[in-house]
Amino acid sequence: MPAVALVTGGNRGIGLGISRRLLADGYAVSILATREEPTEVLAELRELAGTAERVRYVQGSVAEPADHRRYVDDAVAAWGRLDLLVNNAGVAPSVRADLLEATTESFDRVLGINLRGPYFLTQVFANRVIELRGDLPVAGGRVVLPDAPVATIVNVSSISAVAVSTNRGDYCVSKAGVAMATQLFAVRLAPEGIVVHEVRPGVIATDMTAGVTSRYDALLADGLAPIARWGRPADVAGAVSLLASGRTPYSTGEVFHVDGGMHIPRL
């Protein structure tokens, strides 16, 4: 049985890049997304996997707690195990609004999807991993942790976790919250053999950024990032693949920047 990955929003943009990479790595992948089943995308993924049995699609919203258990239950029923959760699904504000004009409706929507959703999906996933894992061995009165993680959680945040945009404060707050949630769960889940990491993308070419292409073209040309190009979903997927590979078993709570060096302070 292949390792099993859950990828929220894995049918488009960065999430689709992650789904493709994980299938190429040999995972079985289940996608949670709000849209009706995207037949062309799923056909492509099943062809990449070499079998339809390694790809599942659950229609639902990460913002709905009832969908969390249904999503996890579906994967366990199909494959009997859980190895990786990628909290990728997210939204930008419907309207970019100055902080002095922002609405509670936009704030609640963005934080519900970007922060509250993955926070409680992580809770459901971790509890199910522990249930499937069973008790860890004890020696000398202490729990013996395995040399390799039992499971991995990767949260996809954004450079906006630390970079201020005063016309989309709700988005920045949501991603800063994801960064803290990563640290919280990393500490809480380490004794359970589960590691948690954050992947922090910069300017990535997706449908979310399509409306600001000219703005970021100019910023990149003006030196926004040392690697002066747009990032691609495959760039983010590579970071997820590395963190989920088990090759860094003594690390948790790490922030992996995928931003062309944008985060580096420069004079």
Question: pLDDT truncated to tens, each residue of the chain (267 aa)?
Answer: 899 999 999 999 999 999 999 999 999 999 999 999 999 999 999 999 999 999 999 999 999 999 999 999 999 999 999 999 999 999 999 999 999 999 999 999 999 999 999 999 999 999 999 999 999 888 888 888 888 899 999 999 999 999 999 999 999 999 999 999 999 999 999 999 999 999 999 999 998 888 889 999 999 999 999 999 999 999 999 999 999 999 999 999 999 999 999 999 998
DSSP 195-258: EEEEEEE-SB-STTTGGGHHHHHHHHHTTSSSS-S-B-HHHHHHHHHHHHTTS-TT--S-EEEE
Domain span at residue 75 reads 4-258
In a domain, 266, yes or no: no
Q: Which CATH number goes with the domain that contains 74?
A: 3.40.50.720
In a domain, 72, yes or no: yes
Whole-number pLDDT of residue 23: 98
Provide the whole-model pTM: 0.96
In a domain, 263, yes or no: no
Total domains present in the chain: 1
In a domain, 184, yes or no: yes
Whole-number pLDDT of residue 89: 97
* Residues annotated catalytic, as ranges: 171
Whole-number pLDDT of residue 238: 98
Whole-number pLDDT of residue 205: 93
Contacts of 97 (CB under 8 A, 6+ apart): 103, 106, 167, 168
In a domain, 189, yes or no: yes
In a domain, 45, yes or no: yes
In a domain, 147, yes or no: yes
In a domain, 264, yes or no: no
What are φ and ψ of residue 114, in 5° steps?
A: -80, -25
Alpha-carbon gap, residue 179 to 217, rounded angstroms? 27
